[in-house]
Amino acid sequence: MSSHFDTIVNLAKNRGFVFQSSEIYGGLRSAYDYGPLGAALLRNVKDEWWRSMVQMRDNVVGIDSAVIQSPRVWEASGHVGSFSDPLVECTNCNSRHRLDKLENPQQCPTCGMSGTFTEPKDFNLMFKTHMGPVASEDNAVYLRPETAQGIFINFENVRRTARLKLPFGIAQIGKSFRNEITPGQFVFRTREFEQMEMEFFCRPEESAKWLEYWLEERKSWYMDLGMSADNLRLRAHDEDELSHYSSHTYDVDYNFPWGWDELEGIANRTDFDLAAHAHHSGKDLTYFDPETNERFFPHVIEPAAGATRTTFAFLLDAYGEDEVKGEKRAVLKLDKRLAPIKVAVLPLSKKPDLVDTTEAVAGPLRRRWDIEVDVTQSIGKRYRRQDEIGTPYCVTVDFDSLDDKQVTVRDRDTMAQDRIPIEGLETYLSERLDA
Ligand code: ATP
């Protein structure tokens, strides 16, 4: 893997974005914990998705459904029968691999031997457990492998209570679980992860139009939040790649250090899910159009993104290095909306009157934004730390501030410094952070 990948993984660990799960017990492979900065970044990514998909639209609403649902949901959706990946095992070194992700399907990437794989077998990716005190097949339940089904089974509840008319969307953000054969590439593929999914219900004859619409909307979302257009592409699935439910699927791919890979799938799920749930539950899940007096199953366009995977892509994309006064500077040029800390307030020294003034400056800012007050080390080192975690503005309180009631604001990207009256600081920052 490239050094860019290693740099970001190290930065994530050392600065408190992402830690290996259960690290003090040697770590649990493929699970990660988000530290103070990572939790804030992940929350900001999810908030921006929610803002753009739900808050800004009058025909999309949000829900939050249970992780554990009736096992019949997963029978109806096809996950019990066909949510599987082809598993092969190397008879030489006993390593297991997902056949469709191998560069060379004949050769084991662990030991290098050829022709040593067993016949592929379908490995179901759902985590199975038991509900209640008896561990019997009758009590078997699954952790959801996608958030989408929680939306489909609530289609009628939500349509009726929110009084929605086609076309409309139901969105959800939450944890999903897949017992991946080969997790890896840091938080790119984990067994517990977060998704941001929206099911957009429309008239069947309008599905092609809405698919086009959501492809553009979703690609624009990443670019609007600062992801480089050169690192993004839309890719249509080939016929043999399509999931069991889909007639057309596109991926939004990101140019990861190991090559192009999926950030988000945008699929035309047709009426597969609603029809399947209607059939299995015996409930009427058709839509009645009062204008045309027709009753039919809406078709569905689904933009399904990974929150944790996307957060990783934003980190990779934002990282850069430049040179300041002959020294290397590492900087995360995260969009201001995503940056975990918006403003750092830094007294030039630890002298009590400077620290007091710093607290007085920081107080009102804290009510509005995630801020950090840092009094340790030299000012140069503190600037570098803030650059490395992507803080857009550093406010420095110096000895002159005590007399002239002004502070210096440093811009992360241009490194330009403005002298601003403390009185006008909140407005100055608001014009830049909330614009
Ligand atoms: P893949 O082919 O990479 O296994 P998929 O096509 O099965 O993924 P979808 O079912 O379309 O993935 O899920 C939608 C999104 O959820 C993905 O684009 C990805 O961002 C995220 N996602 C899926 N599986 C994982 C995982 N194991 N870890 C992290 N994110 C995931």
Q: pLDDT tens digits, residue range 77-130?
A: 999 998 998 999 999 999 999 999 898 999 999 999 999 999 999 999 999 999
Torsion of CA 208, 213, 219, 225, to 10 degrees: -160
Locate the ligand 1 atom nearest the alpha carbon of residue 252 and give its number.
18
Question: What's the gap in Å between 188 CA and the centre of ligand 1?
Answer: 9
Beta bridge partners of 121: 87
- State whether the beta carbon of 144 lies less than 6 angstroms from ligand 1: no
| pLDDT bucket at 149, cuts 50 / 70 / 90 | very high
Phi, psi of 252 (to 5 degrees): -90, 115
- State whether the beta carbon of 145 lies less than 6 angstroms from ligand 1: no
- State whether the beta carbon of 299 lies less than 6 angstroms from ligand 1: no
For residue 256, pLDDT beyond 70: yes
Mean pLDDT confidence for 27-53 = 96
Tell me, letter by letter, the H, E, C secondary structure of 19-30.
EECCHHHCCCCC
Beta strands in 13-167 (DSSP E): 18-20, 32-34, 60-63, 84-89, 96-98, 121-124, 128-130, 140-142
Question: What's the gap in Å between 103 CA and the centre of ligand 1?
Answer: 19
Question: What's the gap in Å between 71 CA and the centre of ligand 1?
Answer: 21
- Residue 255: CB atoms within 10 Å: 16
pTM over the 0.85 mark: yes
CA distance 54 to 210: 16
| pLDDT bucket at 29, cuts 50 / 70 / 90 | confident
Structural domains of the chain, ranges and CATH numbers in brackets: 3-68+147-315 (3.30.930.10), 341-433 (3.40.50.800)
Dump pLDDT digits (tens) for 356-413.
Answer: 999 999 999 999 999 999 999 899 999 999 999 999 999 999 999 999 999 999 999 9
Nearest CA to ligand 1 atom 8: 262
CA atoms within 13 A on the CB side of 12: 27
Question: What's the gap in Å between 306 CA and the centre of ligand 1?
Answer: 6
- To test the pocket of ligand 1, the residue of 198, 241, 309 to mutate (highest count of ligand atoms within 8 Å of its CB) is 309
| pLDDT bucket at 1, cuts 50 / 70 / 90 | low
Task: Please state whether beta strands 32-34 and 18-20 pair in parallel, antiparallel, or not at all (unpaired).
Answer: antiparallel
> 317's torsion region: left (phi>0), alpha (psi -120 to 50) or beta?
alpha
Phi, psi of 284 (to 5 degrees): -80, 115
Mean pLDDT across the chain, nearest whole number? 95
Dump pLDDT digits (tens) for 277-330.
Answer: 999 999 999 999 999 999 999 999 999 999 999 999 999 999 999 998 899 999
- State whether the beta carbon of 193 lies less than 6 angstroms from ligand 1: yes
| pLDDT bucket at 49, cuts 50 / 70 / 90 | very high
Question: What's the gap in Å between 198 CA and the centre of ligand 1?
Answer: 14
Question: What's the gap in Å between 365 CA and the centre of ligand 1?
Answer: 38
pLDDT of amino acid 257: 96
Question: What's the gap in Å between 289 CA and the centre of ligand 1?
Answer: 34
For tokens 């004949």, what's the residue? 106
Nearest CA to ligand 1 atom 24: 189
CA distance 36 to 13: 11
pLDDT of amino acid 310: 98
pLDDT of amino acid 239: 79
Residues 6 or more apart whose CB falls under 8 angstroms from that of 235 comprise 250, 251, 253, 260
